[in-house]
Structure 1
Amino acid sequence: MQTHVTEIADRIYRFSTFVPEVAAPAGFTFNQFLIDADQPLLFHCGHRRMFPLIADALARVMPVERLRWVGFGHIEADECGAMNDWLDAAPQAEVAHGMTASMVSLEDMADRPPKALADGTVLDLGGRRVRYIDTPHVPHGWEAGVMYEEVTGTLLCGDLFTHVGDVAPLVSADIVGPAAQAEEVFLASALTPSTAPTIRSLAALRPKTLALMHGSSFNGDCAAALEGLADFYQDRLRATLGA
């Protein structure tokens, strides 16, 4: 495996590792994102076994020990498996996540106490500002959340828009269709009355770039893409309920 580095927005870097054995025959990408600021933030830690690959990739951009913040969407191996490896490699780093994740899991799992963020809290990274947004059960996990970098308009989407394949780093083509196809296979998303409204609230941010954990990042009409994804889940919920 190799981890590739792409700058998807100004000083926001995508680290992508393609694993052909996952979701075969198409394969699957696992992506992390670095916001290179005065206080750098890494969103997604990656699997523990991928840590050497990802750390080497990050070191191409900046020294690993400069890392100040570590965040992710929810508690899952591909999102936080290497969390404590990053804390060990970067002595000043802290995990930053929502109140629920911190209380339920991270106060026990993280080797250093996490910084618990209330919904809407902004971390000033120095040159970049990251807003934490609670998205419980969207796409899954009680403790789920996303981060929005306000200066570049980059939404760190976590598992939203997941799609398969060895894909381009950044596209402006359709990402809703591939995400719908993947959902039909994985059935990974929670369907609740809050699913579509939560995604529509992210569309209201009118982001300029969508940073996806699995698949291509996107710099087309991001609000329209989020509305399209919300429509997809709304239709699925109605079909499930027989409405």
Structure 2
Amino acid sequence: MQTRIDEIGADMYRLSIFVPEEAPPQGLTFNHFLITGDEPLLFHCGKRKMFPLVSAAVARIMPLERLRWLAFGHFEADECGSMNEWLAAVPSAELMHGVVGCSVSINDMADRPPRVLSNGEVIDIGGKRLRYIDTPHVPHGWDAGVMFEETTKTLLCGDLFTRVGNGPVITDSDIVEPSIVTEDLLNYTSLGPHTGSTIRRLADLKPRVLAAMHGASFSGDGAAALKALGDHYDARLQVALAV
């Protein structure tokens, strides 16, 4: 495996590892996003076994010791499996996550206490402003959340818009239909009465870039894509209830 590095916005880097064995036969990308500034932030720590690859990629962009913040969407191996490796490698780095994630997992599992973020709290990393937003059970667990970079209007949307395969770095093509196809394949979303509305609320941010963990990032009308995806899950729920 190798890590591909691409700048998808001003001082915002996508560090992507393609794993052909995941989600066969198409394979799956695992994307990590480094946002540089006075206090650089890495969104998605990555799997523990991928730490050598991801950390080497970060080191190609900047010295590791500059890394200040570690964040992720929810407690899962590909999101935070290597968090303690990062904490050991960068003594000044600090984890941050929402109230639920810290309470139910991170306080116990992390080697250093995390910074607890309230819903809507903004972290200014110097040149970039990250807003944390709770999205409980969307797409998975109770602890789920996303981050929105306000200056570039980039939504770090985690597993939303997951797509299999090794596509382009960033696209302006439709990402809704391919993510629905992937949902049919993997059934990765926790479908409930608030799934659609939670996704549609993110459209109010009017993101210009959707930085997905699995698949190409999207450049364009992010609000329209989020509304369409939310509507799809509402329709999917009605079908499930009818069955």
TM-score w.r.t. length of structure 1: 0.99
Residue 161 of structure 1 deviates from its aligned partner by 0.3
What residue is the counterpart of 1:193 in the other structure? 193
Q: Residue 24 of structure 1: SS of its match in structure 2?
A: coil
Take 1:191 and 1:19, find their aligned partners in 2: how far apart are those partners?
A: 27
Take 2:65 and 2:47, find their aligned partners in 1: how far apart are those partners?
A: 19
What residue is the counterpart of 2:180 in the other structure? 180
What does residue range 20-59 of structure 1 map to in structure 2 within 5 Å?
Answer: 20-59=20-59
Q: In the TM superposition, what whole-angstrom CA distance separates every residue of 1:212-234 from its partner, at most 9, and x where no partner exists?
A: 00000000211111111111101
Residue 154 of structure 1 deviates from its aligned partner by 0.5
Q: Which amino acid aligns with 1:138?
A: V
Q: Hey, which bits of structure 1, 4+ residues long, moved more than 3 A?
A: none
Gaps of 5+ in 2: none
Give aligned-pair identity as a percent: 59
Q: In the TM superposition, what whole-angstrom CA distance separates every residue of 1:76-116 from its partner, at most 9, and x where no partner exists?
A: 00000000111111111110100000011111111110001
What residue is the counterpart of 1:19 in the other structure? 19
Take 1:104 and 1:25, find their aligned partners in 2: how far apart are those partners?
A: 35
Q: In the TM superposition, what whole-angstrom CA distance separates every residue of 1:168-197 from its partner, at most 9, and x where no partner exists?
A: 110000100110001001111011111111
Q: Which amino acid aligns with 1:85?
A: E
What residue is the counterpart of 2:224 in the other structure? 224
State how many pairs are aligned.
243
What residue is the counterpart of 1:129 in the other structure? 129
Q: Residue 97 of structure 2: SS of its match in structure 1?
A: strand
Take 1:191 and 1:50, find their aligned partners in 2: how far apart are those partners?
A: 30
What residue is the counterpart of 1:76 in the other structure? 76
Q: Residue 230 of structure 1: SS of its match in structure 2?
A: helix
TM-score w.r.t. length of structure 2: 0.99
What residue is the counterpart of 2:153 in the other structure? 153
Q: Does 1:5 align with 2:25?
A: no
Take 2:103 and 2:232, find their aligned partners in 1: how far apart are those partners?
A: 32
What residue is the counterpart of 2:103 in the other structure? 103
RMSD of aligned C-alpha atoms?
A: 0.8
Q: Which amino acid aligns with 1:223?
A: A
